């Protein structure tokens, strides 16, 4: 039986998962592939650790990742060290040396994907990054191949397992934000720098990849409007729940303009109110969901574990198998990495944030004095922002109390102009929580 020889960069959570799946599923993989996947060499910064895996002790270990990306006996490099550098340089060197590359590194693809794809095409090697979006869910394959006959109308995703885990535990168990974040780190869900998770940056990395693949455009990570979950309190979760909603950190991408007239792409990441009845609201814990609407297929949704050793290793090895199946001579027959022929990918503009139209949840902290609500609603009325709901439950003679409002649809620029007038009112504090709402047909 022929084989594909693999070099692995990084023996952390996912690297060990990849080694483990290669042992535990060796026979199944060979039966599906008609070839063997053999781990030849692996690099990690600290080699003294007890990896507790027979396979690791039988491969050539090095603490110099360059040894792996230049090794003569490696056909395919799996990059699992994470981050922008040295991951980018190592991947580029591997490609220069004629090696196929599989990575789970969304930061790398979001920031440097375009140059990596170009070099890979020039060198005739394949690049796989399924595990970079949605953990174990084969959502990129679904979008790139399964839905390829459709013009994509929208993409919504719960794309960060850590944030979904935190929001779920805060809602269900009243758990403390910092404690749950620590638990997510212990479970291997969080990024090396967890601010990437909680500030929405990881979701923005993933959304920028999904959007470019959905709409045939270039990856524009730097232009994604991004807000995280770090300002969400248990009180907000409860207030939202009483209104019939749940907070999810969503990535949202939509095209503006029709068919070949498509001119701009809306891309945003923020904590979002979703109706409790919506399917996406039921996706909890470290699960991710990617909901894609195509013009022929209509709504589709893909749900599964979005983080963690085993699900992510599953996606990494699926990419390795796709490449191994056609290597060495047939990689040109694989679907293009971003789902469109390179020359047909366009430079679509990103919709300015001020033009995004949404319904909003607003939480103001105000002194409980007569006329405060009237003053706020008067400003909203000046900006033609109408209200769906308003509530003030607490009463306090000396401390600020929260007032919660749901608005009807308005443009973000208009809303921000109104908020800046409202926060300059006497008796209204500057700390305003603005959450956006999506109705999912409810």
Q: Are strands 357-367 and 264-275 parallel, antiparallel or unpaired?
A: unpaired
Q: Which of 4, 33, 43, 212 binds ligand NDP (CB under 6 A)?
A: 43
Quote the least distance from Cβ 192 to ligand NDP, whole Å.
5
Q: Which of 138, 271, 294, 308 binds ligand NDP (CB under 6 A)?
A: 308
206 versus 437: smaller Cβ distance to ligand NDP? 206
Q: Which of 191, 197, 199, 319 binds ligand NDP (CB under 6 A)?
A: 191
313 contacts 37 by C-beta, under 8 angstroms: no
For residue 411, count CB atoms less than 10 angstroms from its CB and return exposed for 0-12, middle for 13-18, buried for 19 or more.
middle
CA-to-CA separations, 409 to 121, 287, 324, 354, 412, in angstroms, rounded: 44, 30, 50, 13, 9
Q: Which of 117, 189, 221, 225 binds ligand HSE (CB under 6 A)?
A: 189
397 contacts 436 by C-beta, under 8 angstroms: no
Contact status: 190 vs ligand HSE (CB under 6 A):
yes
| CA–CA separation, 153 and 133 (whole Å) | 19
Name which of residues 200 to 219 contact ligand HSE (CB under 6 A): 202
311 versus 339: smaller Cβ distance to ligand NDP? 311
Chain CA centroid to CA 311, Å: 15
Q: Mark 304-333 with x for binding to ligand HSE (rule: CB under 6 A) and - for no binding.
A: --xx--------------------------
> Which partner in ligand HSE, ligand NDP, none is near 328 (CB below 5 to 8 A by kind)?
none
Name which of residues 147 to 186 contact ligand NDP (CB under 6 A): none
Contact stretch for ligand HSE (CB under 6 A) within 59-67, 188-196, 264-272, 365-373: 188-196
Contact status: 15 vs ligand HSE (CB under 6 A):
no
44 versus 197: smaller Cβ distance to ligand HSE? 197
The size of the interface with ligand HSE (CB under 6 A), counted in residues, is 11
Residues counted in the chain: 442
Quote the least distance from Cβ 183 to ligand NDP, whole Å.
14
Contact status: 82 vs ligand NDP (CB under 6 A):
yes
Quote the least distance from Cβ 287 to ligand HSE, whole Å.
10
Give kind and range of the element (H or E) at residue 179.
helix 177-186
Q: Check if 206 is active-site.
A: yes
Q: Where are the beta strands (DSSP E) in 134-282?
A: 152-158, 225-226, 245-256, 264-275
Token digits for 167? Answer: 């929001």
Task: Out of 99, 111, 206, 254, pick the active-site residue.
Answer: 206
| CA–CA separation, 235 and 214 (whole Å) | 36
| CA–CA separation, 138 and 135 (whole Å) | 8
For residue 396, count CB atoms less than 10 angstroms from its CB and return exposed for 0-12, middle for 13-18, buried for 19 or more.
exposed
φ and ψ at 13, to 5 degrees?
-55, -55
Contact status: 10 vs ligand HSE (CB under 6 A):
no
Contact status: 251 vs ligand HSE (CB under 6 A):
no
Quote the least distance from Cβ 254 to ligand NDP, whole Å.
25
CA-based end-to-end distance of the chain? 54
> Which partner in ligand HSE, ligand NDP, none is near 136 (CB below 5 to 8 A by kind)?
none
Residue 172: other Cβ atoms inside 10 A: 11
Catalytic residue numbers read 206
């Amino acid at each position: 039986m022929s084989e594909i020889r693999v070099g692995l960069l990084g023996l952390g959570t996912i690297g060990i998962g990849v080694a483990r799946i290669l042992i535990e599923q060796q026979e199944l993989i060979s039966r599906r592939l008609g070839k063997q996947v053999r781990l030849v060499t692996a690099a990690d910064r600290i080699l003294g650790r007890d990896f507790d895996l027979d396979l690791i002790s039988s491969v050539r270990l090095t603490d110099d990742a360059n040894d792996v990306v230049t090794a003569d006996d490696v056909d395919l490099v799996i990059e699992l060290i994470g981050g922008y550098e040295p991951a980018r340089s190592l991947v580029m060197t591997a490609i220069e040396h004629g090696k196929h590359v599989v990575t789970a590194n969304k930061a790398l693809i979001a920031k440097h994907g375009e140059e990596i794809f170009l070099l890979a095409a020039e060198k005739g090697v394949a690049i796989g990054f399924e595990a970079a979006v949605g953990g174990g869910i084969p959502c990129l394959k679904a979008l790139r191949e399964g839905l390829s006959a459709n013009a994509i109308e929208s993409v919504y995703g719960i794309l960060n397992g850590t944030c979904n885990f935190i929001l779920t535990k805060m809602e269900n168990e009243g758990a403390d934000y910092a404690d749950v974040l620590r638990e997510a780190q212990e479970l291997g869900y969080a990024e090396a720098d967890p601010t990437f998770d909680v500030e929405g940056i990881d979701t923005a990395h993933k959304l920028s990849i999904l959007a470019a693949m959905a709409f045939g455009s270039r990856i524009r990570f730097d232009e994604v409007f991004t807000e995280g979950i770090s300002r969400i309190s248990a009180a907000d979760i409860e207030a939202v729940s009483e209104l019939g909603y749940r907070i999810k950190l969503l990535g949202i991408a939509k095209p503006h303009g029709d068919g070949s007239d498509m001119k701009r792409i809306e891309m945003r990441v923020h904590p979002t109110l979703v109706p409790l009845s919506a399917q996406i609201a039921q996706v909890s814990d470290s699960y991710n969901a990617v909901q894609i609407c195509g013009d022929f297929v209509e709504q589709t949704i893909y749900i599964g574990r979005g983080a963690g050793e085993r699900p992510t290793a599953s996606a990494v090895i699926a990419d390795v198998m796709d490449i191994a199946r056609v290597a060495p001579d047939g990689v040109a027959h694989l679907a293009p990495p971003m789902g469109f022929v390179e020359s047909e990918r366009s430079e679509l503009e990103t919709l300015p944030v001020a033009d995004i139209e949404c319904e909003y949840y607003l939480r103001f902290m105000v002194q409980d004095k007569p006329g405060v609500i009237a003053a706020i609603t008067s400003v909203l009325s000046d900006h033609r922002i109408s209200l769906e709901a308003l509530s003030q439950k607490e009463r306090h003679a000396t401390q600020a109390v929260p007032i919660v409002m749901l608005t009807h649809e308005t443009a973000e620029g208009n809303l921000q102009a109104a908020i800046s007038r409202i926060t300059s009112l006497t008796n209204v504090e500057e700390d305003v929580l603005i959450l956006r709402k999506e109705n999912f047909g409810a």
